[in-house]
Amino acid sequence: MADADAAIREVVNNIAAQKHDKTEIKIHTTTSDGANYAYKLYEIVISAKNNSDLELFGKVAIIGEDVRSVVNVEIYEKEFFFYKHLVKEYKFLEEKYEITDENKLRVPICVGYNEEYLKETIVMENLLKQNFSNYDRLTSVNWDYASKCIKQLAILHSLSVVYGKENPKKFEEVANYLKFTYPKMFLEKAIGNAIAAAKDEYRERFSTFLEKIMENEAYEKFFKPFRLTVFAHGDFRPSNLMYRINENGIYEVAVVDFQTLQSGNPITDILYFIYNGSDKEFRQRYYHQLLGYYYTELSAAFCRFGLQPNDIYSKSDFEYDLKEVLPYGLLIITTTLPIVTIDVANIPKVEDDLGYLDSKTSPLFAERLNDIISDYIELGVL
């Protein structure tokens, strides 16, 4: 694996050279306290005479060849594709249809990158310097925050649909490129740990559910579209959603980290957010409300682009997809929730091996897991 510090310096030097003035560059490493595993992170300041400081955020790939060969997931390529191509198409559509700022997709602006293998680097505006921060991954989301996240999700999904309406051939090409199946090895390892953490009263039915869903790789269906195809985020959880509270007290949310961009159905992103970001108390109050809010915002987004929601994705289509994909929420948290809830002291390193699959889970993992199992019993899935 290449020297990450040298890799970030190379890209930043190229960005600074575009200022034409004599510049001063400051680069220092930063962390996300367990929110990121694929990159080494940096904060950057480029200063030039007669210019405002350029506050940037950089990411350099840290996953080595051994792990890449086993996992075989093109996470870096997908993120480059988003920032180099897809987001530009989305912004063009937003301008064409005169979408107002409050209804636009909010993502950081990418200002430089290097796609070289094992040196993959992305540099973008530093949202931290614009009063954005990450939601505490160990704390359940609240309604004000969650609703703004879900609105951004609806906007993200709607843009892919509009893109498909205006560029059907290109949409098909991109959808084929973004096809995704979750690596089976992660599921198999995580399932064993999750079963061990389940309460005695839940363990048998939970184990039977997982065994059935893994049989003949039946879980693959969740990553395919049913009634609607969208370009989904794939890792839509609070750690990948930055927020700030504006002077009017309203949350503003920006979506980051598109390594797991994938074509599929919209339900996977919704369930992923709910079960990785909330506790049982939140879900008891807002689960159905949040689902309804997503559909309302998706419909509103379609209307802003001159599309009729019932022609694109009716409420009955949405409810059908939700029923078909609902088990995904219980499956996926076996792999994601241990990382979401991990104690900082036990944060794994993933550069050169898969030892992080054996990372020690926290008591919060068992608590959240069993609460979700209880939810799924109440929903009639278990």
Report CA 185 to chain centroid distance, whole Å.
20
Query: Can you give the pLDDT at residue 349?
Result: 61
Is position 323 within any domain? yes
CA distance 111 to 125: 7
Asked which of 99-108, 175-184, 314-323 is least confident by mean pLDDT, the reply is: 175-184
Q: What is the mean pLDDT of residues 308-318?
A: 98
In the predicted structure, residue 64 carries a pLDDT above the cut 60: yes
Sequence-separated contacts (24+) of 376-382 with Cβ below 8 Å = 376/327, 376/329, 376/330, 377/202, 377/205, 379/326, 381/209, 381/326, 381/327, 381/330, 382/202, 382/205, 382/206, 382/209, 382/330
Q: What confidence tier does 2 reach under pLDDT thresholds 50, 70, 90?
A: low
Q: Please determine, for residue 303, whether its predicted confidence score (pLDDT) is greater than 80.
A: yes
Q: What is the pLDDT of residue 52?
A: 87
In this prediction, residue 93 has a pLDDT band, given cuts at 50, 70 and 90, of very high
In a domain, 12, yes or no: no
The whole-number pLDDT of residue 307 equals 98
Q: The CATH number of the domain where 168 resides is what?
A: 3.90.1200
User: How high is the pLDDT of residue 43?
Assistant: 97
- H/E element, 30: strand 23-30
Pairing of strands 110-114, 39-48: unpaired
In a domain, 261, yes or no: yes
Buried residues in 300-316 as b, exposed as e (16+ CB within 10 A): ebbebbebebeebbbee
The pLDDT score that the predictor gives to residue 365 is 96
What's the whole-number average pLDDT of the chain? 92
State the total domains in the chain.
Answer: 1
Domain that holds residue 148: 78-108+139-378
pLDDT of residue 360: 80
* Mean pLDDT computed over 279-288: 98
Identify whether 236 is part of a domain. yes
Sheet harboring 54-61: ordered strands across?
23-30, 39-48, 54-61, 121-125, 110-114
| pLDDT of 103 strictly over 90 | yes
pLDDT of residue 350: 56
Q: 252-267, pLDDT tens digit by residue? A: 999 999 999 999 999 9
> What does the alpha-carbon distance between residue 164 and residue 348 come to, in Å, rounded to a whole number?
39
Task: State what percent of residues in the chain have pLDDT above 70.
Answer: 93
In a domain, 331, yes or no: yes
For 231, counting Cβ atoms within 10 Å of its Cβ (0-12 exposed, 13-18 middle, 19+ buried), the class is: buried
Q: Is 369 exposed, middle or buried (0-12, 13-18, 19+ CB in 10 A)?
A: buried
Residue 66 lies in a domain: no
pLDDT of 51 higher than 90: no
What residues contact 120, with CB distance under 8 A and at least 6 apart? 60, 61, 76, 80, 113, 114
Q: What is the pTM of this model?
A: 0.95
Chain centroid offset of residue 123 CA: 18
Q: Rounded CA gap, 174 and 192, in Å? A: 35
Spatial distance between the Cα atoms of 218 and 350, rounded to a whole number of angstroms: 28
Q: Provide the percentage of residues in the chain whose pLDDT is more than 90.
A: 80
Query: Is residue 89, in this structure, part of any structural domain at all?
Result: yes
More confident residue, 227 or 1: 227
Choice among 63-67, 77-81, 183-187 with the minimum mean pLDDT: 63-67
What are 63's two structure tokens? 């996953």
Is 97 a member of any domain?
Answer: yes
For residue 347, pLDDT beyond 80 = no
What's the whole-number mean pLDDT along residues 167-188? 92
Distance CA 107, CA 110 (A): 9
For range 196-201, the mean pLDDT: 96
